[in-house]
Structure 1
Amino acid sequence: MDSDRVLQVSVATGVATLTLDSPANRNALSRAMRAQLRDALLEAIADDAVRAVVLDHTGRVFCSGMDLSEAAGGGAQDQGVREFPELLEAIWSSPKPVIAVVRGPARAGGVGLLAACDVVVAATSATFAFSEVRLGIVPAVISAVVLPRMVPHVAHRLMLTGQVFDAEVAAAGGLVDLVVPEADVDGEVRAQLVHLTAGAPAALAETKRLLRVRTPALHFDSLLELSARYFASEEGQEGIAAFREKRPARWVPGRD
């Protein structure tokens, strides 16, 4: 087995399953993860035998967001944010439907990853958070795919507070489509795939194009600059250091 592989890929009965497989770092969006996921998705889109894509994960965590071990001490060009939009855009604009399967926590960029998908199935035990502001950074890039999905006032509160919220709140806010007990997740995904693959491929692709009138690509340039600037800022680097050192950031009241 390739020790550098952080993504499992399988294709069966018209479904490509892309499984985030880096549980040791909570399936973080490392450079390797972003590259492998993007390449696998593009291959699935190009494969005429694939009718739908499933984005799943191993381990307890769906995705913890950007790999902060790669983001400490670098400049804006090193923060890994500049290719992340390519991945979100590929999912968002895929002519084949993409289902996200969330069995555990999703944070920051991980929330953006699932928000770009067409259907999100979550276990009742899944939790979510826009944790960026607590790290001194901004949820700029993911806003391009999160905001079209979510009820505006819910997104407003959750992005500003950075608080953890459960699957029921995520569903009520539009981030998640279906919430089921963990034991029923696979069955619900199979049921959704039956419905999605019952449609004609060209008609599905055109329908998705109509539904995706607002394309994130139109906004990514300015969002990238904002995100990179805050990753490299004094606040951003302090927030990342505090997270890694498991201590309050210096702006937290009463931290001493």
Structure 2
Amino acid sequence: MSTEVPVELIRQSYERGVTTLTLDSPHNRNALSSRLMAGLHEGLEAAAKDTETRAVLLTHTGGTFCAGADLKEGSGTPQDLARLLRTVAELPKPVVGVTTGHVRAGGTGLLGACDISVAGPGASFAFTEARIGVAPAVISMPLLPRLDPRAAARYYLTGERFGAEEAARIGLVTLAAEVPERALEPVLDGLRRGSPQGLAESKRLVNAEVLRSFERDTGTLAELSARLFASEEAREGMTAFLERRDPEWVR
């Protein structure tokens, strides 16, 4: 199969049934710019069509897996993000995410949409949307069916930072590992042994509730996200974030 992806922010490689897609936009912490999302769509669609690919491994360069929306370059619409997350969840090949760095906002949704995920000791997570005047609306579709409800309430509301072990405990990732590469070996070996039909239908079973969430809530949550991002509070919150200061409501 070709290893060429038109958008250079995604690097693609292939080895023994596994297509690796690497988020490679360290200048903006792998934020979900329109170009990065387009490149990721291209890579996922190519892997879905490739008969040799049994699974997709999603990883990153730099110290951040994905920082969420690109507040400077633009990230498209909430519908665009919903489409990307649904593509991951619906892909007929299992998607395995691995992070050794920071995961924020839309990045948590991207990792949550993966079927299996591994976090290294340097990984950190936070839902900081409420701190800038918005809410984790669109990313909730792949996340809330998988997260512990009490933990989701705490971290959605407080924006606290937590590490890999806590992410595994609450269901945000599958497992925390001191050496992610070693932890991935039995996972990828198992996926290589799966038949295309067996993997696709098994994935459909375990993702049924996530996919129902996309069917039911995409329009409502995309509309909520757009409304919140257009609000005065969000403008103040994002300005404060870019200026590295507290927003006006902090007491």
TM-score (norm 1): 0.92
- In the alignment, is residue 228 of structure 1 matched against residue 226 of structure 2? yes
Task: Tell me, in whole angstroms, the C-alpha distance in 2 between the residues paired with 1:82 and 1:233.
Answer: 18
Q: Give the whole-Å Cα distance in 2 for the aligned partners of 1:239 and 1:35.
A: 27
In the other structure, the counterpart of 1:75 is none
Q: CA RMSD in A?
A: 1.7
Match of 1:176 in 2: 173
SS in 2 for 1:99: strand
Match of residue 89 from structure 2: 92
Query: Which residue identity lines up with residue 152 of structure 2 in the other structure?
Result: A
Match of 1:133 in 2: 130
1-structure distance, mates of 2:36, 2:138: 17
Give the distance between the partners of 1:13 and 1:81, measured in 2 at CA: 35
User: How do 1:37-186 and structure 2 match up within 5 A?
Assistant: 37-70=40-73, 80-181=77-178, 184-186=179-181
Question: How far has the Cα of 1:210 moved from its partner?
Answer: 1.4
Q: 1:195 aligns with which of 170, 175, 190?
A: 190
Name the SS for the 2:56 alignment partner: strand
String of CA shifts for 1:15-66, please: whole Å, max 9, x gaps: 1100000111111011111111011111111111111000000001111111
Using the TM superposition, give the Cα deviation of residue 191 of structure 1 relative to its aligned residue in structure 2, in angstroms: 2.2
CA–CA separation in structure 2 for the residues paired with 1:170 and 1:4: 31
Task: Give, as a single letter, the amino acid of the residue that structure 1 aligns with 2:202.
Answer: T
With normalisation by structure 2, the TM-score equals 0.93
Structure 1 residues 4 and 37: CA distance shift in structure 2, 3 A: closer
8 Å contact 2:5–2:12 — kept in the other structure?
A: no
Closer, same or farther: CA 3–96 of 1 in aligned 2, 3 Å:
closer
Aligned-pair CA distance for 1:138: 1.1
Deviation at 1:190, TM superposition (A): 2.5
Amino acid across the alignment from 2:19: A
Instruction: Provide Cα deviations, 1:72-123, integer angstroms capped at 9, x if missing partner.
Output: xxxxxx8532211111001011111110011011001100000000111000
Q: For 1:81 and 1:5, how far apart are their aligned partners in 2?
A: 23
Equivalenced residues, count: 245
Identity among equivalent pairs (%): 46
Structure 2: 5+ residue stretches without partners: none
The residue correspondences of 1:204-223 to structure 2 (distance < 5 A) are 204-214=199-209, 215=211, 216-218=213-215, 219-223=217-221
1:217 shift after superposition: 2.3
For structure 1, which runs of at least 5 residues remain unmatched after alignment?
72-77
Output the CA distance in 2 between the equivalents of 1:79 and 1:31. 6
Which position in structure 2 is the counterpart of 1:14? 17
Match of 1:252 in 2: 250
Distance 1:79 1:34 in 2: 9
Deviation, structure 1 residue 194: 0.2
Between 3-12 and 169-178, the greater mean CA deviation after superposition: 3-12
Counterpart-to-counterpart distance in 2, 1:123 and 1:90: 25
